[in-house]
Amino acid sequence: MPTALITGITGQDGQYLAEVLHGEGYRVFGLIPGQRNPRADLVASGLPYVELIEGDLADLSSLIAALEYTQPDEVYNLGAISFVALSFKQAELTANITGLGVLRLLEAIRLVGGTDNPVRFYQASSSEMFGKVRETPQNELTPLHPRSPYGSAKVFGHNTTVNYRESYGMYACSGILFNHESPRRGLEFVTRKVTNAVARIALGLQDEVALGNLDAKRDWGFAGDYVTAMHLMLQQPEPDDFVIATGKTHAVRDFVQLAFAAAGIDDWERYVRIDPRFFRPAEVDLLVGDASKARRVLGWEPKMAFEELVTTMVAHDLEAEQRKLS
């Protein structure tokens, strides 16, 4: 039975990936940081087959212990401070977990695995690395120009992954994933913040939603589709880096309009208040990915289109809010 260790198991991607790997017959371990982490209960009840193990990306010896205990064939590093807005307020913490955490995990794999290291490593790199984009669409060779402490930390993690592959011959891959969403997305991210607010407004539980920059454009896909690409990357004969994206871009405004329409509300502007608190010190204005390498080499392609993603998320939040009322 192949064994996988996932960091960031409590996040959206960790949960979807655990389901995919379990379906493929893997033994799945999830690394849980913190003391009495409340989100561990969520994983324990929702994904009972995941074996939780304590460890923290800020603590090298805990990573070594986790690797020695689990003896994984594949390690997926999805753990990070992943909210860009928070990274401006907690820049040092973000650099430590999202950036240096990658170095610690790779170093732990190198120390535990020794020569002819059999462990295959996946790094969750991000389209935020492209930041102030130098070309459109963005591909694996597009120069990086991060616009936030989060983006900078991801660049460090990405470069470190490439460096360990080249220096030590480790099987280390980097997936440069563009924005990917789902009903499991955290409420702090704009898509889920909007679909949750739309549901509550439609049910008369909330009057308005306060948002920031509606002009930013993102390439949004479905997280469930994107985790399959992570697994595919680690099944290739040689490690490599891949952009994962839909190739289509939409403004935040389009997402908002479509989400309200999905709940039967056409005059959406009545319910949206622009609040300067949600603007960032520097913005990533436009992201759109070129995933042709992933299509060609991995045979991967996204299945869920933007419109279906928005309506699925709104339907989920309407049902969840209605359930709370009954």
Binding interface with ligand G4F (CB under 6 A): 82, 84-85, 126-128, 178-179, 188-191, 193, 211-213, 216, 218, 252, 278, 280, 283, 287
Nearest residue (CB) to ligand G4F, 26 versus 268: 268
On the question of a cis peptide bond just before residue 146, with omega within 30 degrees of 0, the verdict is: no
What is the chain's alpha carbon radius of gyration, rounded to the nearest angstrom? 20
- Strand ranges, E, within 96-193: 120-126, 171-177, 180-181
* Number of CB atoms found within 10 A of residue 27's CB: 18
CA distance linking residue 242 with residue 60, whole number of Å: 27
CA distance linking residue 159 with residue 129, whole number of Å: 11
Residue 37 CB, nearest approach to ligand G4F (Å): 19
Residue 156 CB, nearest approach to ligand G4F (Å): 14
Nearest residue (CB) to ligand G4F, 168 versus 189: 189
What is the separation of C-alpha 165 from the centre of its chain, rounded to a whole number of angstroms?
22
Of 26, 122, 150, 171, which residue is the catalytic one?
150
Of 74, 128, 181, 321, which residue is the catalytic one?
128
Smallest CA-to-CA distance from 299 within 219, 242, 222 is with 242
Tell me whether residue 69 is one of the annotated catalytic residues. Answer: no
Residue 64 CB, nearest approach to ligand G4F (Å): 27
Residue 154 CB, nearest approach to ligand G4F (Å): 7
Tell me whether residue 126 is one of the annotated catalytic residues. Answer: yes
Bridge partners, residue 282, by sequence: none
Smallest CA-to-CA distance from 15 within 35, 45, 59, 38 is with 45
Of 62, 82, 87, 126, which residue is the catalytic one?
126
Nearest residue (CB) to ligand G4F, 166 versus 188: 188
Nearest residue (CB) to ligand G4F, 237 versus 276: 276
Tell me whether residue 128 is one of the annotated catalytic residues. Answer: yes
List residues with catalytic annotation. 126, 128, 150
